[in-house]
Structure 1
Amino acid sequence: MQLFLIPNEHGLEELTLIELQGTFEINDDISGMEFGEIQWNNGIPYVKIVNNLYEGKFVDLEKPLLLLNKKTAKKSGVNQQCEIEAIIERKLLFNIRPRPIITTTTAATTTKSVFGK
Protein backbone atom coordinates (compact mmCIF):
# COMPACT_ATOMS: atom_id res chain seq x y z
CA MET A 1 0.00 0.00 0.00
CA GLN A 2 1.26 3.44 -0.85
CA LEU A 3 0.87 6.30 1.59
CA PHE A 4 1.05 9.84 0.35
CA LEU A 5 1.69 12.94 2.40
CA ILE A 6 -0.90 15.58 1.61
CA PRO A 7 0.15 19.22 1.81
CA ASN A 8 -2.15 20.98 4.26
CA GLU A 9 -3.57 24.48 3.91
CA HIS A 10 -0.13 25.93 4.83
CA GLY A 11 1.77 23.77 2.34
CA LEU A 12 3.28 21.48 5.00
CA GLU A 13 3.10 17.77 4.29
CA GLU A 14 1.39 15.62 6.91
CA LEU A 15 -0.24 12.22 7.03
CA THR A 16 -3.97 12.88 7.02
CA LEU A 17 -6.99 10.64 7.16
CA ILE A 18 -9.56 11.36 4.43
CA GLU A 19 -13.24 10.68 5.07
CA LEU A 20 -15.73 10.74 2.22
CA GLN A 21 -19.47 10.36 2.74
CA GLY A 22 -21.46 8.11 0.47
CA THR A 23 -20.73 5.01 -1.55
CA PHE A 24 -18.39 4.58 -4.49
CA GLU A 25 -19.20 1.76 -6.87
CA ILE A 26 -16.10 0.54 -8.68
CA ASN A 27 -16.40 -2.21 -11.25
CA ASP A 28 -12.82 -2.30 -12.54
CA ASP A 29 -9.37 -2.87 -11.06
CA ILE A 30 -8.24 0.52 -9.74
CA SER A 31 -4.68 -0.40 -8.70
CA GLY A 32 -2.30 2.21 -10.02
CA MET A 33 -5.08 4.65 -10.89
CA GLU A 34 -5.45 8.10 -9.41
CA PHE A 35 -8.56 8.41 -7.26
CA GLY A 36 -8.96 12.14 -7.14
CA GLU A 37 -7.19 15.46 -6.94
CA ILE A 38 -7.08 17.65 -3.81
CA GLN A 39 -6.92 21.39 -4.35
CA TRP A 40 -6.89 24.34 -1.95
CA ASN A 41 -8.89 27.50 -2.58
CA ASN A 42 -8.66 30.22 0.09
CA GLY A 43 -7.74 27.60 2.72
CA ILE A 44 -10.69 25.33 1.86
CA PRO A 45 -9.89 21.83 0.58
CA TYR A 46 -11.68 20.53 -2.51
CA VAL A 47 -11.36 17.08 -4.04
CA LYS A 48 -12.27 16.43 -7.64
CA ILE A 49 -13.39 12.88 -8.39
CA VAL A 50 -14.28 12.30 -12.04
CA ASN A 51 -16.82 15.10 -12.73
CA ASN A 52 -17.77 15.93 -9.12
CA LEU A 53 -16.27 18.53 -6.82
CA TYR A 54 -16.43 17.90 -3.05
CA GLU A 55 -15.83 20.67 -0.50
CA GLY A 56 -14.19 19.64 2.75
CA LYS A 57 -12.80 20.83 6.04
CA PHE A 58 -10.17 19.77 8.55
CA VAL A 59 -11.49 18.11 11.70
CA ASP A 60 -9.38 17.25 14.74
CA LEU A 61 -9.67 13.60 15.73
CA GLU A 62 -11.04 12.96 19.20
CA LYS A 63 -8.22 10.45 19.75
CA PRO A 64 -5.06 10.49 17.60
CA LEU A 65 -4.32 7.43 15.47
CA LEU A 66 -0.93 5.74 15.22
CA LEU A 67 0.41 4.29 11.99
CA LEU A 68 2.44 1.25 13.03
CA ASN A 69 5.02 -0.79 11.14
CA LYS A 70 5.14 -4.36 12.46
CA LYS A 71 8.66 -5.89 12.64
CA THR A 72 9.41 -9.58 13.21
CA ALA A 73 12.55 -10.63 15.08
CA LYS A 74 14.86 -12.43 12.63
CA LYS A 75 16.15 -15.13 15.01
CA SER A 76 12.98 -16.51 16.57
CA GLY A 77 10.39 -15.36 14.09
CA VAL A 78 7.91 -15.07 16.97
CA ASN A 79 8.73 -11.84 18.78
CA GLN A 80 7.21 -8.88 17.09
CA GLN A 81 7.89 -5.22 17.57
CA CYS A 82 6.00 -2.24 16.28
CA GLU A 83 7.55 1.02 15.22
CA ILE A 84 5.48 4.18 15.18
CA GLU A 85 5.65 5.56 11.65
CA ALA A 86 3.32 8.52 12.12
CA ILE A 87 0.73 10.11 14.38
CA ILE A 88 -2.50 11.19 12.66
CA GLU A 89 -4.24 13.99 14.51
CA ARG A 90 -6.61 15.43 11.88
CA LYS A 91 -8.76 14.29 9.03
CA LEU A 92 -10.11 15.89 5.91
CA LEU A 93 -13.87 15.48 6.04
CA PHE A 94 -15.83 15.72 2.79
CA ASN A 95 -19.44 15.43 3.96
CA ILE A 96 -21.20 17.97 1.76
CA ARG A 97 -23.02 16.87 -1.39
CA PRO A 98 -20.75 17.17 -4.41
CA ARG A 99 -21.25 19.76 -7.10
CA PRO A 100 -21.12 18.39 -10.63
CA ILE A 101 -18.54 19.89 -12.96
CA ILE A 102 -20.19 20.66 -16.28
CA THR A 103 -18.05 20.96 -19.40
CA THR A 104 -19.36 22.97 -22.29
CA THR A 105 -17.78 22.92 -25.72
CA THR A 106 -18.02 25.62 -28.34
CA ALA A 107 -16.36 25.81 -31.74
CA ALA A 108 -13.59 28.06 -30.40
CA THR A 109 -12.95 26.91 -26.81
CA THR A 110 -13.72 24.37 -24.14
CA THR A 111 -14.66 25.76 -20.73
CA LYS A 112 -15.30 24.14 -17.39
CA SER A 113 -17.76 25.53 -14.89
CA VAL A 114 -18.88 24.39 -11.50
CA PHE A 115 -22.64 24.08 -11.24
CA GLY A 116 -24.02 26.53 -8.71
CA LYS A 117 -21.05 28.90 -8.72
Structure 2
Amino acid sequence: MQIHVVRNEAGVDEWTIVELQGSLEVSGHSLDGKILGNLCWRKDTKEAILIIGNHLLEGKFTQLEKPLLVGKNFKIFWREFLQVAVPNADDQSYVVNAVIRRKLLFKLRPKPIVTKGLSGHMLISK
Protein backbone atom coordinates (compact mmCIF):
# COMPACT_ATOMS: atom_id res chain seq x y z
CA MET A 1 0.00 0.00 0.00
CA GLN A 2 1.34 3.42 -0.79
CA ILE A 3 0.35 6.77 0.65
CA HIS A 4 1.15 9.86 -1.39
CA VAL A 5 2.44 12.36 1.16
CA VAL A 6 4.09 15.40 -0.43
CA ARG A 7 6.44 16.56 -3.18
CA ASN A 8 9.87 17.63 -2.07
CA GLU A 9 11.68 20.75 -3.32
CA ALA A 10 13.10 18.80 -6.28
CA GLY A 11 9.57 17.97 -7.44
CA VAL A 12 9.87 14.26 -6.62
CA ASP A 13 6.99 12.59 -4.79
CA GLU A 14 7.71 11.38 -1.27
CA TRP A 15 5.92 8.15 -0.40
CA THR A 16 5.58 6.29 2.86
CA ILE A 17 5.63 2.53 3.25
CA VAL A 18 2.85 1.10 5.42
CA GLU A 19 3.99 -2.09 7.15
CA LEU A 20 1.29 -4.32 8.64
CA GLN A 21 1.48 -7.54 10.64
CA GLY A 22 -0.66 -10.39 9.36
CA SER A 23 -2.25 -10.43 5.94
CA LEU A 24 -5.07 -8.67 4.15
CA GLU A 25 -7.56 -10.98 2.50
CA VAL A 26 -10.13 -9.72 0.03
CA SER A 27 -12.83 -11.99 -1.29
CA GLY A 28 -14.01 -11.71 -4.84
CA HIS A 29 -12.59 -8.38 -5.99
CA SER A 30 -9.43 -6.31 -6.23
CA LEU A 31 -8.45 -3.44 -3.93
CA ASP A 32 -7.20 -1.33 -6.86
CA GLY A 33 -8.65 2.16 -6.49
CA LYS A 34 -10.69 1.20 -3.41
CA ILE A 35 -10.53 2.70 0.07
CA LEU A 36 -8.77 0.28 2.39
CA GLY A 37 -9.59 1.92 5.71
CA ASN A 38 -9.42 5.11 7.76
CA LEU A 39 -6.10 6.54 8.91
CA CYS A 40 -6.05 9.12 11.70
CA TRP A 41 -3.57 10.55 14.21
CA ARG A 42 -3.48 10.96 17.98
CA LYS A 43 -2.47 14.53 18.72
CA ASP A 44 -0.99 13.78 22.14
CA THR A 45 1.34 10.90 21.15
CA LYS A 46 1.54 11.51 17.38
CA GLU A 47 0.77 7.83 16.82
CA ALA A 48 -1.29 6.58 13.92
CA ILE A 49 -4.55 4.66 14.13
CA LEU A 50 -5.67 2.62 11.14
CA ILE A 51 -9.17 1.15 11.07
CA ILE A 52 -9.77 -1.56 8.49
CA GLY A 53 -13.27 -3.01 8.65
CA ASN A 54 -13.81 -3.93 12.30
CA HIS A 55 -10.11 -4.04 13.23
CA LEU A 56 -7.97 -1.34 14.81
CA LEU A 57 -4.21 -1.02 14.36
CA GLU A 58 -1.88 1.34 16.20
CA GLY A 59 1.40 2.43 14.68
CA LYS A 60 4.07 5.09 14.41
CA PHE A 61 6.52 6.55 11.91
CA THR A 62 10.06 5.21 11.75
CA GLN A 63 12.90 6.44 9.54
CA LEU A 64 14.48 4.04 7.07
CA GLU A 65 18.23 3.56 7.46
CA LYS A 66 18.67 4.28 3.75
CA PRO A 67 16.10 5.93 1.47
CA LEU A 68 14.52 3.85 -1.28
CA LEU A 69 13.93 5.13 -4.81
CA VAL A 70 10.90 4.17 -6.84
CA GLY A 71 11.59 4.33 -10.53
CA LYS A 72 11.80 2.65 -13.89
CA ASN A 73 14.67 1.85 -16.20
CA PHE A 74 14.20 4.62 -18.76
CA LYS A 75 15.71 2.86 -21.78
CA ILE A 76 13.90 -0.40 -21.15
CA PHE A 77 10.66 1.59 -20.82
CA TRP A 78 11.14 3.33 -24.18
CA ARG A 79 12.32 0.15 -25.90
CA GLU A 80 9.11 -1.61 -24.79
CA PHE A 81 6.90 1.41 -25.55
CA LEU A 82 8.29 2.12 -29.02
CA GLN A 83 9.15 -1.52 -29.75
CA VAL A 84 12.45 -0.48 -31.33
CA ALA A 85 16.09 -0.87 -30.40
CA VAL A 86 17.48 1.96 -28.31
CA PRO A 87 21.04 3.16 -29.06
CA ASN A 88 23.56 2.71 -26.25
CA ALA A 89 21.32 0.16 -24.56
CA ASP A 90 24.17 -0.75 -22.23
CA ASP A 91 23.99 2.68 -20.58
CA GLN A 92 21.70 2.71 -17.57
CA SER A 93 19.19 5.54 -17.20
CA TYR A 94 16.47 5.63 -14.56
CA VAL A 95 13.45 7.81 -14.06
CA VAL A 96 12.81 8.42 -10.35
CA ASN A 97 9.09 8.58 -9.60
CA ALA A 98 9.33 8.84 -5.81
CA VAL A 99 11.62 8.59 -2.81
CA ILE A 100 10.76 6.71 0.40
CA ARG A 101 12.48 7.87 3.59
CA ARG A 102 10.14 6.56 6.30
CA LYS A 103 7.58 3.92 7.02
CA LEU A 104 4.41 3.79 9.06
CA LEU A 105 4.92 0.68 11.18
CA PHE A 106 2.01 -1.21 12.73
CA LYS A 107 4.03 -3.80 14.65
CA LEU A 108 1.23 -5.39 16.67
CA ARG A 109 -1.53 -7.55 15.27
CA PRO A 110 -4.93 -5.87 14.74
CA LYS A 111 -7.33 -5.57 17.67
CA PRO A 112 -11.03 -6.30 17.09
CA ILE A 113 -13.31 -3.33 17.62
CA VAL A 114 -15.86 -4.10 20.33
CA THR A 115 -19.32 -2.61 19.96
CA LYS A 116 -22.45 -2.62 22.11
CA GLY A 117 -25.45 -4.50 20.77
CA LEU A 118 -28.99 -3.12 20.89
CA SER A 119 -29.86 -5.19 23.98
CA GLY A 120 -26.82 -3.98 25.92
CA HIS A 121 -24.80 -7.17 25.39
CA MET A 122 -21.26 -6.85 24.15
CA LEU A 123 -20.49 -8.14 20.67
CA ILE A 124 -16.93 -9.02 19.75
CA SER A 125 -16.03 -8.88 16.08
CA LYS A 126 -14.36 -11.95 14.62
Q: 1:99 aligns with which of 87, 90, 111?
A: 111
The answer on 1:5 being equivalent to 2:4 is yes
The answer on 1:68 being equivalent to 2:47 is no
What value does the CA root-mean-square deviation take over the aligned residues? 2.8
Q: TM-score, normalised by structure 2?
A: 0.64
Q: Select the structure that is richer in helix.
A: 2
Of stretches 60-69 and 95-104 in structure 1, the one that deviates more from structure 2 is: 95-104
Corresponding residue for residue 56 of structure 1: 59
Q: Select the structure that is richer in strand.
A: 1
Superposed displacement of residue 24, structure 1:
2.1
Superposed displacement of residue 65, structure 1:
0.5
> How many residues are matched?
101
Identity among equivalent positions (%) equals: 37
Corresponding residue for residue 110 of structure 1: none
Q: TM-score, normalised by structure 1?
A: 0.68
Give the distance between the partners of 1:51 and 1:65, measured in 2 at CA. Answer: 32
The answer on 1:83 being equivalent to 2:86 is no
Contact 2:2 2:16 in 1 (8 A): no
**Structure 1 consecutive aligned stretches of length 4 or more whose deviation exceeds 3 Å:** 73-81
Structure 1 spans left out of the alignment, 5+ residues: 8-12, 108-117
Deviations 1:30-83 (A, max 9, x none): 233211221111211111110011000111112210011443265944347321
Q: Which has the larger radius of gyration?
A: 2
